[in-house]
Amino acid sequence: MTLMRPGHPPSPRGPRFPRLARRVRDLLDELRPPASQHGATPRAAVPGANDLRVASWNLHKCVGADRRFDPDRSAAVIAELGADIVALQEVDKRFGRRTGLLDMAAIEHACGLVPLRVSDVPNGHGWHGNALLVRPGTSARVRRLRLPGAEPRGAVLAELDLPTGPLRVIAAHLGLLRSSRNRQARAILDAITAGEQMPTLLLGDLNEWHPGAQSSLRALEPLFGRQPPSPASFPAALPVLALDRILGLPQGLVADVAAHDSPLARIASDHLPLTAWVQMPQAEQALPRAA
């Protein structure tokens, strides 16, 4: 074992005790119930021709577990996701001028995705760090939501015109205080109910680790219903907390929510990305009943 000098960054290969980390992960996997036991929607054998693959990732300002700022590595993880729509958190500098941290031209080349225009600065990517990547040419009506709370927080609401029909997508990063998260969740519900009726996704780092009655996720239940447990996504090297979510309205819109646990994703950020399938035809049929 090599002793680390103060201030010396850890090895980029992963945790300082990889065998112990793997053993703890194995033990947690043994204790964690299968998806079928906690109500998660199972994977379809073959996704439908009109199904969309979506993803959400807090990329931690492109700073990985090795403390390296590496936008190229972040772009490579986004490419791994193979998604049609990606919600990103912490894509801009936190303080001062909120300039973007990714090379969006490289993202388009690697992934075939482009950002929706949501920033209030010319070279920014997102709104309060939230960005949405979509296929080029996607028509969208975009709103920037200011969320209440002790910290400056926001969300991006985009109504997309897709070949399969309209889809509302909300990318959000909620606050660290539960009281703030409750208010922010209610503000998001107000924005949804003020708009037209259409299938809706809520993706992002919701910062909620409490599953019970005190959870701020309960504030979302009037529209999204009681949610099954989400895959653990934090910390990326040894995920035990389900801070990130992909929620859908109506019920059945979202299937097969999973953490993208690749070697590169474990080192590129402190969160693992989440992926899911969106089943648009079923959503269109179910929407009148959900209303």
Q: What is the pLDDT of residues 80-106, one digit of tens each?
A: 999 999 999 999 876 656 778 888 888
* 134 SS3 class: strand
Distance, in Å, from the CA atom of 72 to the CA atom of 197, rounded to the nearest integer, reads 39
Give 120: exposed, middle or buried? Use CB within 10 Å, 0-12, 13-18, 19+.
exposed
Q: Distance of CA 94 to CAs 89, 128, 250, 252, Å? A: 11, 8, 34, 36
DSSP string, 35-73: GGGTTPPPPPSS--TT-EEEEEEE-GGGB-TT--B-HHH
Q: What is the pLDDT of residue 290?
A: 44
In this prediction, residue 30 carries a pLDDT of 44
Q: What is the DSSP string of 189-250?
A: HHHHHTS----EEEEEE------STT-GGGGGHHHH-SPPPPPP-BSTTS--B--EEEEEES
- Residue 25 binned pLDDT confidence (cut-offs 50, 70, 90): low
Distance CA 152, CA 166 (A): 30
Burial class (CB in 10 A: 0-12, 13-18, 19+), 285: exposed
Whether 248 contacts 224, CB under 8 Å: yes
The four Cα atoms 58, 26, 267, 101 give a dihedral, to 10 degrees, of: -10
Sequential DSSP letters for 11-27:
PTTS-SSHHHHHHHHHH
CB 133 within 8 A of CB 86: yes
Residue whose tokens read 């920037």: 144
In whole angstroms, give the CA distance from residue 287 to residue 192: 14
**Helical residues (DSSP H) of 49-202, grouped into ranges:** 71-81, 104-111, 178-193
The CATH homologous superfamily to which domain 49-290 belongs is: Endonuclease/exonuclease/phosphatase (3.60.10.10)
Per-residue pLDDT reduced to its tens digit, 215-268? 889 999 999 998 888 999 999 999 999 999 999 999 889 999 999 999 999 999
Which pLDDT score, from 0 to 100, does residue 150 have?
Answer: 87
Distance CA 153, CA 216 (A): 16
| Alpha carbon distance 254, 25 (integer Å) | 27
Instruction: List, edge to edge, every strand of the sheet that includes 165-173.
Output: 139-147, 153-162, 165-173, 200-205, 244-249
What's the pLDDT band for 199 if we cut at 50, 70, 90?
very high
Q: For the chain, give the mean pLDDT.
A: 83
CA 16 to chain centre: 27
Where do the domains of the chain lie? 49-290
3-state secondary structure of 155: strand
Pick the closest to residue 185 from 142, 225, 221 (CA basis): 221
- Residue 185 scores a pLDDT above 60: yes
